[in-house]
Chains A and B, each alone.
Chain A
């Protein structure tokens, strides 16, 4: 069963505009949520995270929003840059952080 879902396999955005990547989860026990970026032939790279006690976390051009009642989180990238083109995975874990569940990824293309 897929506990973390990314329903959009791909997204194209013009350079300078906002990119919004979405993620849904089913397990209400998830306590921590993360976004990773992955380039071809490399392992995923941590981007930004949010604890379940918060509803927003911002780091430079990247902001993650968490809506616990809807079991939904989103990643906003503003402004989008061509170097942001990659596959983005959301992930979630419980309190212990002993096991992480990943979504299937969204491939973002930023068009110059």
Chain B
């Protein structure tokens, strides 16, 4: 296992279109996070899964955003009716359920979304 992977790495779409991103965490990690990062800012928390359960969701996450982790393994983040303000880097991170690395998040390379 080489780490957290995200697909696609880049996505260009037109305003109003729907987009879906995929994250594959490290296989033994049951905790999964999605973040959004814009230029000059740090990662901004979007949502958190423990196994297949979505336990936390940022109040900043509009109803156009939805995330799933159906089998407690990979996760998808969908943005409906994209807006230019959605242009950002979307990062996924995972961490183990216990152990010394419990609070250490392992990040993927991110998906860069550009909405035209």
Contacts and interface: CB of A to CB of B under 8 A. Distances in A.
Interface string A1-23: 00010100100000000000000
Interface of A: 4, 6, 9, 32, 34, 36, 41-46, 49, 89, 91, 93, 97-105
A94 to B, nearest CB: 10
A66 B93 CA distance: 25
B43 A46 contact: no
A100 B42 CA distance: 11
Q: Size range of the interface on B?
A: 20 to 34
B56 A102 contact: no
Contacts, number: 61
B109 A103 contact: no
B104 A49 contact: yes
Name the residue among B48, B102, B104, B106 with the largest chain A CB count within 10 angstroms: B104
B100 to A, nearest CB: 10
A43 B103 contact: no
Nearest to A6: B42
17 contacts: A32-B103, A34-B103, A34-B104, A36-B107, A42-B109, A43-B93, A43-B107, A89-B42, A98-B48, A98-B50, A98-B55, A100-B33, A100-B43, A100-B45, A102-B44, A105-B40, A105-B41
